[in-house]
Amino acid sequence: MLAGLAQAPAEAARFLLGKVLVRIRGGRARAARIVETEAYLGAGDPAAHAWSGRTKRTEPLWGPPGTLYVYFVYGRHHCLNLAVDRAGRPGCVLIRAAEPLGGRTRSGDRTLSGPGRLCRALRVDRRLTGRHLFEPGSALFLREGGPPRAIGASPRVGLRVARRRRLRFFDRDSAAVSGSRYGRGRGRQ
Partner DNA sequence: CCGCGGATCTTCT
Partner DNA sequence: GAAGATCCGCGGA
CA distance 136 to 52: 32
Among 8, 57, 109, 172, which residue interacts with DNA (rule: CB under 7 A)?
57
Q: How far is the CB of 68 from DNA (least distance, A)?
A: 12
Nearer to DNA, 52 or 149 (CB): 52
The residue range among 25-33, 138-146, 156-164, 168-176 that interacts with DNA, by the rule CB under 7 A, is 156-164
Residues 6+ apart with CB under 8 A from 53: none
d(CA 143, CA 166): 26
Q: For DNA, give the closer residue by CB, 114 or 148.
A: 114
| DSSP tag of 126 | G
Rounded CA gap, 95 and 53, in Å? 22
Residue of 63, 65, 115, 152 that binds DNA (CB under 7 A): 115
Rg (CA), the chain: 15
Interface with DNA, residue 180, by CB under 7 A: yes
55 interacts with DNA by CB under 7 A: yes
Q: Exposed, middle or buried, 67 (CB in 10 Å: 0-12/13-18/19+)?
A: buried
Q: CB under 8 Å to 59, separation ≥6 — which residues?
A: 130
56 is an interface residue for DNA by CB under 7 A? yes
Residue with Cβ nearer DNA (101 or 157) = 157
Binders of DNA: how many residues, by CB under 7 A?
37
CB 156 within 8 Å of CB 93: no
Q: How far apart are CA 83 and CA 146, in angstroms?
A: 22
* Residue with Cβ nearer DNA (28 or 181): 181
> Rule CB under 7 A: is residue 75 a binding residue for DNA?
yes
Which residues are near DNA by CB under 7 A? 38, 40, 47-50, 52-53, 55-58, 71-77, 79, 81, 92, 94, 114-118, 156-160, 178-181
